[in-house]
Amino acid sequence: MTHIPPRQQKVEDKDRRFYVVAPGSCYLKLQQEAIQRGTDLWTLSGAVLRAWLDAGCPDLGFQGQSPEKSPSPPPSSSPLAHDQGAGQ
């Protein structure tokens, strides 16, 4: 029977390649950016992912608006705002 191995004090953090899925236009833009930065697509993509992880995986503004938020301003607490017939 196998047992759970003990945790190691020092683990080698090797570079690994793995696949991601993105539209072809995104792939092309990353490839062009990698060329402009003097690196390859794999290294640039890894650096971007690492920076995103190091930043705590922020949403970067891609989160949809929550349903309780409305683009219109909140209703006024002024009594005149509610009395639409006054002053006309």
The letter for the amino acid at 45 is S
State pTM to two decimals. 0.57
| Confidence at residue 61, expressed as pLDDT on a 0 to 100 scale | 74
Mean pLDDT for back-to-back runs of 10 residues, the chain (88 residues): 89 92 95 97 94 93 58 57 53
Tokens 């971007």 found at:
48
Buried b (16+ CB within 10 A) or exposed e, 19-53: eeeeeeeeeeebeeebeeeeeeeeebbbeeeeeee
Angle subtended at Cα 7 by Cα 5 and Cα 13, rounded to the nearest 5 degrees? 115
| Confidence at residue 84, expressed as pLDDT on a 0 to 100 scale | 54
| Confidence at residue 63, expressed as pLDDT on a 0 to 100 scale | 60
- Of 44, 20, 21, nearest to 32 by C-alpha is 44
| Confidence at residue 2, expressed as pLDDT on a 0 to 100 scale | 84
Residues 6+ apart with CB under 8 A from 61: none
